[in-house]
């Protein structure tokens, strides 16, 4: 399985995701934002960080870079695309995913391990998880407050396009277990074809038992076959 990680100026989880992918036996390549073509790849990852310093709006400027046209083309042709944290923000700015990510409701950067629930386990990204499985995953963001319009929200719910929801350790999806104010506790969503996943939590930070648990592993192993 071949993967490509897109690197923007200001990306800072690019090495982290590359390490995780290689650990999971992906053949990974780094792709520079000024490149005009993508290598042959099965998975494109847009990593976390502060592309362009998060200036203007997080993800806005990266969304205009040269390589993005290629990402859009590949996605339209069915290539799998994973956007993590700033990557999720970039995907919404390019229109590959609908909705947007507003400032956290407490107006502060939040870094901690939170619980999320696997809502749809029938996709290329999630099939190794059980339905409603509860994961403990690290978040680290300033703008993770998912927002979208009513029609899209209905579509997300009806079509099973919600990937993860924030919950507590017992799985309760509630206001208290919502770290950033996201609509319906949404932590990650798919596009309608389910080949694109955007999520705020960092699965790449959860693959090494020395620094964390291994709750992120199954996301990568789902992608492998």
Catalytic site positions: 85, 202, 204
Mask for 150-179, x = binds other proteins (CB under 8 A):
------------------------------
Q: Which is nearer to other proteins, 22 or 132 (CB)?
A: 22
Residue in 67, 116, 202, 215 binding other proteins, rule: CB under 8 A: 202
188 Rama class: left (phi>0) / alpha (psi -120 to 50) / beta: beta
How big is the site for other proteins, counted in residues (CB under 8 A)? 49
Residue in 53, 131, 169, 176 binding other proteins, rule: CB under 8 A: 53
How far apart (Å, rounded) are the C-alpha atoms in residues 61 and 64?
Answer: 5
List, in sequence order, the alpha helices (H) in the chain.
14-23, 66-76, 86-94, 150-158, 217-224
Q: The tokens of 193 are what?
A: 């074809």
DSSP for residue 11 = B
* Cα separations in angstroms, 151 against 98, 103, 145, 154, 168: 11, 22, 18, 5, 27
Nearest distance from C-beta of residue 4 to other proteins, angstroms:
19
Nearest distance from C-beta of residue 159 to other proteins, angstroms:
19
Residue in 3, 4, 16, 178 binding other proteins, rule: CB under 8 A: 16
Q: Which is nearer to other proteins, 120 or 202 (CB)?
A: 202
């Amino acid at each position: 399985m071949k993967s490509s990680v897109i690197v923007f100026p200001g990306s800072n989880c690019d090495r982290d995701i590359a390490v995780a992918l290689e650990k999971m036996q992906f053949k990974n390549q780094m792709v520079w934002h000024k490149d005009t073509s993508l290598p042959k790849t099965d998975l494109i990852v847009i990593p976390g960080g502060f592309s362009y310093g998060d200036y203007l709006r997080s993800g806005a400027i990266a969304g205009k870079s040269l390589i993005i046209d290629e990402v859009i083309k590949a996605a339209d042709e069915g290539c799998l695309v994973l956007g993590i944290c700033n990557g999720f923000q970039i995907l919404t700015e390019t229109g590959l995913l609908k909705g947007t990510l507003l400032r956290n409701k407490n107006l502060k950067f939040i870094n901690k391990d939170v619980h999320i629930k696997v809502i749809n386990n029938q996709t290329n990204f999630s099939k190794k998880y059980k339905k409603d499985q509860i994961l403990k995953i690290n978040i680290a963001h300033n703008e993770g407050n998912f927002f979208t319009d009513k029609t899209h929200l209905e579509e997300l719910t009806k079509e099973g396009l919600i990937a993860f929801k924030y919950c507590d350790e017992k799985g309760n999806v509630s206001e208290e277990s919502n770290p950033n104010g996201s609509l319906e506790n949404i932590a990650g969503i798919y596009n309608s074809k389910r080949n694109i996943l955007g999520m705020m939590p960092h699965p790449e930070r959860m693959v090494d038992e020395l620094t964390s648990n291994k709750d992120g592993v199954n996301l990568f192993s789902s992608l492998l076959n």
